[in-house]
Amino acid sequence: MRAARLKYGVAFTPSLDIACWIIKIFGIVAGSDTGHKPMATSTHHVTIADIARAASVSVSTVSRILNNKPDVAEETRQRVQTVIAELGFTPHAHAQRLAAGRSRAIALLFPDAQLSLMREEFILGAAKAASDASYAFYLITSAPSRHQLAALCRSALTDGIILMEIHLRDWRVSYLKRLGFPFVMIGRCANNNGISFIDMDFERGIAQAVEHLVKLGHRKIALLASPDDVYERGYGPAVRSRDGYVQTCAQLGLPAILAPANDTQAELAEATHMLLDRHPDLTAIVSMHGDTTIAVYRALEARNLRIPEDVSVIAFITRRAAELFTPPLAAIDFPAYDFGYQAGRMLIAQLQGSGNVEHILPSPQLILRRSIAPPRTSRPNGSA
């Protein structure tokens, strides 16, 4: 397996065969130990076996001296330290921490972390929090089995975990609580007692978007939501956004128009076309699909519908991504970088014994851009 080196020492691994993988890359991943030189002289890598041979002692004796164990004769200690100085040996700090049963590293468990600006910001935010505290940072992108998660916790390769893709009843949360292994969440369960998290207030965000569109005069507002099976499995954002939308529509006397779709451009475009076929008088769309909402723009353009003159569009999306759309996309701002950073900060505070349980649920911010306007009374011929 290969490691990808990214800013802030992010290491990507395609599976949870992480123990062997991380051991192989200790010397090449940029991170909190980048100030340490590899254990080398001008001609070869110096190992503790080299030190032991030169000092006429055992490898275990050298190891005990490096770890400041007291039960070594002072004469032997001085002889070994002299050899260490002569050979230019520099202990690898991360390896020493592993030997002591702590890694000074955190891991972000982000299943199915496909490339997108929003996902990138989650990752870089968490990595920056690790870097600021001189912790190494690892990204794990496969969904672990119970056995794999247990192996990761036992490996001593990470001191704590940031969990993402949280379900209302998430077995990973229950399992880590039972193990007593440190973790925090980006997202939240139905019951979050004793667990630190940061999450988007999806219910309030949806309400803000729909309420603003209603003030502009819209009465036919659709939600491009997560697929039905994702909702039924209890994935937190899917449940909270859909339920919040249905409730808001009921309170405002609007029809609830749901269009489930997977988070790919092809499927989102198809869902948009089906939505417009079934509801030709639709005037506004709220999308839960972040960057992929560009597919909605393209589907509307293919039908000769203009944004916002014919259809207004709002999405849950990061500020950076929203401003790349043409016209710029009105949004419930999703500060993914800050979420990642705050999760990393909370976890490290917990590891250092200075953190209390935190529940962070920021008030959503609706940012108005040029993708929304009052509805037109008629559509171009052949548009629907």
Give pLDDT tens digits for 350-367: 999 887 899 999 999 999
At 42, the pLDDT band (50, 70, 90 cuts) reads very low
Q: Check residue 307 and give its pLDDT.
A: 97
E-strand stretches of 45-196: 105-109, 136-140, 160-163, 183-186
Q: Average per-residue pLDDT in the chain?
A: 84
Q: In what order do the strands lie in the sheet with 10-13?
A: 10-13, 136-140, 105-109, 160-163, 183-186, 197-198, 359-360
- State the amino acid at position 44 in one-letter form: H
34-72 burial by CB neighbour count: b if 16+ within 10 A, else e? eeeeebeeeeeebebebbbebbebeeebbebbbeeeeee
Q: Which two tokens stand for residue 119?
A: 């996902």
Domain residue limits, the chain: 37-91, 105-195+337-360, 202-329
Q: Check residue 95 and give its pLDDT.
A: 54
DSSP states of 323-362:
TTSSSPPEEEE--HHHHHHHHHHHHHHHHTT-----EE-P
Q: Check residue 59 and give its pLDDT.
A: 81
At 165, the pLDDT band (50, 70, 90 cuts) reads very high
Q: What is the pLDDT of residues 255-310, one digit of tens each?
A: 999 999 998 999 999 999 999 999 999 999 999 999 999 999 999 999 999 999 99
Query: What average pLDDT does the segment 185-202 reach?
Result: 97
Q: What CATH number does the domain located at 37-91 have?
A: 1.10.260.40
Domain pair 37-91 / 105-195+337-360, same fold: no
**Secondary structure percentages of the chain, helix, strand, coil, to 5:** 45, 15, 40
Distance of CA 51 to the CA centre of its chain: 43
**CA dihedral defined by 122, 127, 133, 134, rounded to 10 degrees?**
170
Q: Which two tokens stand for residue 104?
A: 């000074």
Pick from 144, 153, 60, 151: nearest CA to 105: 153
CA distances from 128 to 133, 158, 174, 341 (A): 9, 16, 28, 7
DSSP states of 221-271:
EEEEE--HHHHHTTBHHHHHHHHHHHHHHHHHT---EEEE--SSHHHHHHH
CA separation for the pair 52, 338 (Å, rounded): 48
Radius of gyration for the chain, computed over Cα atoms and rounded to the nearest angstrom: 26
Q: What is the pLDDT of residues 84-113, one digit of tens each?
A: 888 877 665 555 555 555 678 999 998 875
pLDDT at 69 over 90: no
Q: What residues contact 116, with CB distance under 8 A and at least 6 apart?
A: 290, 291, 292, 321
Class in CATH terms, 202-329: alpha beta
pTM score, two decimals? Answer: 0.75
Q: What CATH number does the domain located at 105-195+337-360 have?
A: 3.40.50.2300
DSSP states of 64-105:
HHHTT-S-S-HHHHHHHHHHHHHHT----HHHHHHHTT--SE
